[in-house]
Amino acid sequence: MAELPGARVELELLADDLRERIGELAERLTPGADLGMLFPREPSVVDRHEPPGFRYTVMARGRRPGGLGAPALVAHAADLLGRLDWDVTDREGDAEDAKAGTDAEAGTDGRAALSGGTGHRHVLTARHPDGSVIEVRVDAGGPTVLYIGRTPVVALYEPEEFRWPEPVRTPGTVTPGHLLCYECDGLGACACCGGRGWLPDEPHGRSRCPECATRRVCPICRGAGQLPVSLLSPYQRTMYPELDG
Ligand SMILES: [Zn+2]
Ligand SMILES: [Zn+2]
């Protein structure tokens, strides 16, 4: 894969900005916060269309100081981010509070309980003009405060055009005592996906190949493109009518 010039540097800079912002925010709001998760080694692939899109997700975890309520902490976070060009687009809290005590919030709506809490929480979402997003999740019933930052999705590599592979065996190169694989006809690679291990699919761009299940090679000959006649099963022999002719 050919790197797109400058793309990785751009993504690293976006991640650095995000780390700095979340580090500051966490230190201000929840002194002594655990910042260890701010430094993932690699960005993750979040869009598998061609070219694939990468993003960093960075996190910090803090404890809400005693005496400071969850709504107050969220308001403070909104204020700090708002002053730094972040657009606080979404604040949830009252709605989630209203559900407290019912079983509606017990992990069924994707906004599951933070560990150690009662289940309901206050969530603040802020967006930066550079495309980064910060989410502050404050557990209303426990001390956990989670800061999650996501960079925008960036393509790091030139789009790659897929080329169907050349067969590993042909009628002219098959080893004596062997026959071309009846499944892939000598291709060796998985004949369903062409050796990619995946097929183009929506919405994420790819789905696992149902034929080889990401192993990339033909499931019958395991990549050899040919099968030894002496080891053919009775069923496999039926694929070669010429053997019993
Ligand atoms: Zn095969
Ligand atoms: Zn396959």
Residue 164 lies in a domain: no
- Looking at residue 204, its pLDDT comes to 85
Q: Do 94 and 144 fall into the same domain? A: yes
Do 234 and 184 lie in a common domain? yes
Pair of tokens at residue 107: 């992990």
55: exposed, middle or buried (Cβ count in 10 Å: 0-12, 13-18, 19+): buried
3-state class (DSSP) for residue 38? helix
Q: Is 57 in the same domain as 109?
A: yes
pLDDT digits over 33-50, tens only?
A: 999 899 988 999 999 999
pLDDT in the model for residue 184: 97
Tell whether 53 and 138 lie within a shared domain: yes
Task: State the angle between helix axes of 70-82 and 7-29 in degrees (0 to 180), rounded to the nearest 10.
Answer: 140
Ramachandran angles phi, psi of 83, nearest 5°: -75, -15
Q: For residues 238 and 200, is the Cβ–Cβ distance under 8 A?
A: no
Based on the fold, state whether residues 21 and 68 are members of the same structural domain.
yes
Ligand 2 centroid vs 78 CA: distance in angstroms?
Answer: 48
Q: Which residues surround ligand 1, an ion (CB under 5 A)?
A: 181, 183-184, 218, 220-221
Does residue 196 surpass a pLDDT of 90?
Answer: yes
Same domain, 57 and 89: yes
171 lies in some domain? no
Residue 78 lies in domain: 7-155
Same domain, 94 and 142: yes
CA 189–ligand 2 middle distance (angstroms): 8
Residues 130 and 24 in one domain: yes
Ligand nearest to the CA of 168: 1
In the block, tokens 């910090």 appear at 60
Q: How many CB atoms lie within 10 A of CB 8?
A: 15
| Residue 130 belongs to some domain of the structure | yes
- What is the structure's pLDDT at 72? 93
Q: Which residue, of 98, 120, 155, is where some domain finishes?
A: 155
Which tens digit of pLDDT belongs to each residue from 70-82? 999 999 999 999 9
Residues 26 and 137 in one domain: yes
On the question of pLDDT at 224 being above 60, the answer is yes
Strand partners, 87: 127
Around ion ligand 2, residues with a beta carbon closer than 5 Å are 190, 192-193, 209, 211-212
Q: pLDDT per residue over 4-16, tens digit each?
A: 999 999 999 999 9
Number of independent structural domains in the chain: 2
Same domain, 24 and 133: yes
Instruction: Give 108-121 pLDDT, tens digit per residue.
Output: 333 333 333 345 88
What's the pLDDT at 92?
Answer: 66
Residue 126 shares a structural domain with residue 203: no
Q: For residues 72 and 191, state if they share a domain.
A: no
Write the CATH number for 13: 3.30.2030
Confidence (pLDDT) at 76? 94
Ligand nearest to the CA of 239: 1
Judged against a pLDDT cut of 90, whether residue 87 lies above it is answered with: yes
Compute the distance from residue 93 Cα to the ligand 2 centre, in Å: 46
